[in-house]
């Protein structure tokens, strides 16, 4: 999903990365400036 957001010109703030608890996470800004946290 992060790659698709990047292709669509969204700002990627962090990730994708593996967090300390083993989750896979990215943080993206939406067009209104809201932070979207994508976790698996």
pLDDT of 1-40, one tens digit each? 999 999 999 999 998 999 999 999 999 999 999 999 999 8
Q: Which residue has the tokens 């010109």?
A: 9
Report CA dihedral (39, 12, 3, 8) to the nearest 10 degrees.
120
Farthest CA pair distance, the chain: 30
Q: 29 is in which domain, residue-wise?
A: 2-39
For 27, the 3-state DSSP assignment is strand
**What's the pLDDT at 4?**
94
**What's the pLDDT at 36?**
94
**What's the pLDDT at 26?**
96
**What's the pLDDT at 35?**
96
- Number of independent structural domains in the chain: 1
Rounded to two decimals, what is the model's pTM?
0.75
The upper half-sphere exposure of residue 16, i.e. CA atoms within 13 Å in the direction of its Cβ, equals 12
Where would I find the H helices in the chain? Answer: 2-7
């Amino acid at each position: 999903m992060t790659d698709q957001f990047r292709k669509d010109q969204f700002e990627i703030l962090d990730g994708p990365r593996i967090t300390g608890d083993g989750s896979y996470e990215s943080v993206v800004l939406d067009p209104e400036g809201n932070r979207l946290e994508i976790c698996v």
